[in-house]
């Protein structure tokens, strides 16, 4: 990856916190930005603000509630039908443990909400966008998927993936984030040799965002710090060809052990394919 002005970058959850900051910085460098959000009014406001601050007019807004796989499908179709290239997908949107960490919530499709939004929606979105990413990698030599995960990770209990037996918001958040790391490793293997690289990162701890303020109260780091690490993975040529890696900020690091268990990854992949395909047939 070299000149940001030539790149088309999709960022999920670009309407607040880390995603908005990364979008603003990359727009400032001249990239074409596809900003995703779930509230059209907020999306329009954020887009107008980024345009005003950066002077960049190649900004496009896409709306989808990631708690609905039908909306994820429509988002992927809208991006795929409107773009001739897609250099980077930043899977950033996410929910924390929630204001009431003991209250289990479900998505429109009946999945545990954090698993659905933080992981399953991004699994489906990325898979739907693979044809465009692969095409871009042929034309531009490389395309990237960057999963914004977290150092908060917890092994998935395959007997209770939807946490119906033992729910806890922190556990829900942490297993969704490990799933995102496992997806990065798995997809990187699948795409080896195609020019599409897939990595995951923990951007920074307790950044000053809505999620952290709601969940922990006092933040410990700035959004800029995390954004810098995400942006490097998105554009820096030091990561050319680097794939299947979990970073803590800019350092290759070790995720929770389950991420290296091929059988666990295969199980997660098979379940995710089944859940996303099954729901597709049932969707209106
Ligand atoms: N903050 C940290 O210290 C920290 C540390 C490690 C990892 N992370 C990760 O960084 C990413 C960004 O988090 P943040 O701290 O910037 O949080 P944030 O300020 O709360 O932003 C979250 C973004 O995700 C969007 N989102 C949430 N639920 C959605 C849904 N159902 N459909 C569509 N979009 C949805 C939000 O949309 P709205 O604008 O409409 O709310 C917002 O744009 C997350 O994946 C998080 O897990 C954060």
Question: What H or E segment, with its residue span, contains residue 148?
Answer: strand 143-148
Per-residue pLDDT at 6 exceeds 60: yes
CATH number at residue 47: 3.40.50.720
In the predicted structure, residue 191 carries a pLDDT above the cut 80: yes
Helix (H, G, I), strand (E, B) or coil at 81: helix
Active site residues: 173
Rounded mean pLDDT, 54-71: 98
Question: From ligand 1's centre to the CA of 95, what distance in Å?
Answer: 5
Give the model's confidence band at 73: pLDDT under 50 very low, under 70 low, under 90 confident, else very high. very high
Mutate to test the pocket of ligand 1, among 69, 71, 184, 211 (most ligand atoms within 8 A of CB): 211
Q: Tell how far CA 37 is from the center of its chain.
A: 12
pLDDT(279) > 70: no
pLDDT score for 50: 98
> Helix, strand, or coil here: 259?
helix
Please list every protein residue whose CB sits less than 6 Å from any atom of ligand 1.
13, 15-19, 37-39, 42, 65-67, 92-95, 117, 148, 150, 202-207, 209-212
Stretch 26-36: mean pLDDT = 98
Give residue 128's pLDDT. 98
pLDDT bucket at 280, cuts 50 / 70 / 90: low
* Ligand 1 atom nearest 113 alpha carbon: 31
What is the chain's mean pLDDT, rounded? 96
Residue 278 confidence (pLDDT) above 80? no
Write out the residue range of the structural domain in which residue 62 sits: 4-282
List, in sequence order, the alpha helices (H) in the chain: 17-28, 40-54, 69-82, 113-114, 121-140, 169-190, 210-215, 223-235, 262-282
Beginning with the edge strand found earlier in the chain, give each strand of the sheet holding 143-148 in spatial order: 59-63, 32-37, 8-11, 88-91, 143-148, 196-202, 246-248, 251-252
CA of 138 to the centre of ligand 1 (A): 31
The pair phi, psi for residue 150, each rounded to 5°, is -165, 160
pLDDT above 70 coverage of the chain, percent: 97
Region 218-238 average pLDDT? 96
pLDDT at 216: 84
- Report the atom number in ligand 1 closest to the C-alpha of 214: 20
| Protein residue whose Cα sits closest to atom 44 of ligand 1 | 94
For 116-160, how does the pLDDT look when each residue is reduced to its tens digit (9 = 90+)? 999 999 999 999 999 999 999 999 999 999 999 999 999 999 999
- The count of structural domains within the chain is 1
What's the average model confidence in pLDDT over 15-38? Answer: 98
User: How far is ligand 1, taken at its centre, from the CA of residue 61, in Å?
Assistant: 17
What is d(CA 69, CA 276) in angstroms, rounded to the nearest whole number?
7
Angle between helices 121-140 and 69-82 (to 10 degrees): 20
């Amino acid at each position: 990856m070299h000149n940001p002005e030539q790149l088309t970058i999709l960022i999920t959850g670009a309407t607040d916190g880390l995603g908005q900051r990364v979008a603003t910085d990359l727009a400032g460098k001249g990239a074409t930005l596809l900003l995703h959000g779930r509230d059209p009014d907020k999306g329009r406001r954020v887009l107008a603000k980024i345009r005003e601050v950066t002077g960049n007019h190649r900004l496009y807004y896409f709306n989808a509630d990631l708690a609905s796989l039908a909306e994820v499908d429509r988002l992927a179709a809208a991006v795929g039908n409107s773009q001739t290239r897609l250099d980077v997908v930043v899977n950033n949107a996410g929910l924390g443990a929630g204001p009431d960490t003991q209250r289990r919530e479900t998505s429109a499709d009946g999945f545990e909400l954090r698993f659905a939004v933080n992981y399953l929606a991004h699994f489906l979105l990325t898979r739907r966008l693979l044809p465009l990413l692969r095409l871009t990698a042929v034309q531009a030599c490389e395309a990237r998927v960057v999963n914004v995960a977290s150092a908060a990770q917890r092994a998935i209990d395959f007997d209770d993936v939807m946490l119906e037996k033992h729910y806890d918001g922190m556990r829900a958040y942490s297993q969704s984030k490990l799933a995102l790391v496992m997806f990065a490793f798995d997809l990187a293997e699948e795409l080896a040799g195609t020019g599409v690289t897939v990595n995951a990162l923990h951007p920074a701890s307790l950044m000053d965002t809505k999620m952290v303020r709601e969940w922990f109260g006092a933040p410990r780091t700035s959004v800029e710090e995390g954004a810098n690490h995400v942006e490097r993975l998105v554009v820096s040529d030091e990561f050319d060809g680097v794939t299947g890696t979990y970073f803590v900020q800019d350092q290759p690091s070790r995720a929770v052990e389950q991420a290296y268990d091929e059988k666990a990854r295969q199980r997660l992949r098979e379940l995710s394919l089944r859940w996303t395909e099954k729901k597709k047939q049932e969707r209106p």
